Amino acid sequence: MDIGRVGVWTRTDGFSTGEAIEFAQRVEELGYGALWIPDAFGRDPFAHAALLFSHTSRLVIGTGVVNIHLREAQATACAQKELHDQSDGRFLLGLGVSHATAMESLFRKPYPKPLASMRAYLDAIEKAMWWGPELDGEPPIVLAALGPLMLKLAGERTLGAHPFFAPPENTQRSREIMGPGPWLCPEQKVLLETDPAKARERARTAMSGPLTMPNYRRNLMRSGFEESELDDGGNDRVVDAVVAWGDVEALVERVQDHLDAGATHVCIQPLDVANPTRPSLKTLEALAPSLLEG
């Protein structure tokens, strides 16, 4: 599987089905190696990936990420294998343990120990029954890993890690923990806006949910932030670390910071200044020449 050095992470829930297809096709035309889609409260990522595969020819579709507490491992394994087969190996399964706040308050389920849960889930996927055709190669998996123990598990048991909501300092630390071999595919929010006030206002909208989640807060503190800096939408230092904003040169520089820190592939999330429900195609088109041909 070749996902190149830059891909796109985005929600397509604000699009109609036709618009989502056109967006994926444009991402492929621009040369981005992968399109990462989440598993939350919108489109089912497996069904949506199948749709997008039927309208693209080279683009890898990755899940960023499937919540292991909401899907039985047997069902996930079969869906993974089916998508691997129908796409000729273009499906990348990202798995995550979600957050205590989401599991307990939204889903009314206890939040089990993350590392033990993920290890057991990977065991179950490996043992899952599959009555479909023999597959060409082993379908790949990456983990939404932030802490050192989950990063080690990702490097030992899967293709690698897919950190979310983390600055380049986290990428460097993750590479040091995982070593040189495993994939490291961090998500990076980008905003093509040079006005500091407008950029930070939009950035805080995108950050409002993650900044309430303990896993992300702890990880930002590992990168040197004080907990008090994370409150009330995050101070400017936190905002500027998590969301890259400015002109094309500034956004390209942030992506390069991740690559220089050890990233295998950077998943850019193109925030739209005016519409938080849609990704900014304008940003992807502006960045593509510098990111993909430079």
The answer to whether the CB of 101 falls within 8 A of the CB of 13 is: no
- Tell me the average pLDDT across 140-160: 98
Under the phi-then-psi rule, with left for phi > 0, alpha for psi from -120 to 50, and beta for the rest, what region is 13? alpha
Domain boundaries, the chain: 6-198+246-293
Is the per-residue pLDDT at 294 higher than 70?
A: no
Q: What is the pLDDT of residue 40?
A: 82
Is the per-residue pLDDT at 72 higher than 80?
A: yes
> Collapsing DSSP states into helix, strand and coil, what is residue 147?
coil
The answer to whether the CB of 274 falls within 8 A of the CB of 266 is: no
Q: How does pLDDT run across 30-55, given as a tens digit for each residue?
A: 999 999 999 988 999 999 999 999 99
Lowest mean pLDDT among 104-113, 126-135, 217-226, 282-291: 104-113
Nearest CA to 58 among 18, 1, 19? Answer: 1
pTM above 0.75, yes or no: yes
Q: What is the pLDDT of residue 116?
A: 97
Nearest CA to 57 among 18, 93, 28? Answer: 28
Q: What is the pLDDT of residue 160?
A: 98
Q: What share of the chain has pLDDT > 90, as a percent?
A: 92
Positive or negative torsion for Cα 38, 41, 44, 49: negative
Report the CATH architecture of 6-198+246-293. Alpha-Beta Barrel (3.20)
Give the mean pLDDT of the chain.
96
Task: Output the CA–CA distances (angstroms, integers) from residue 168 to 82, 138, 247, 289, in the order listed.
Answer: 35, 30, 19, 22
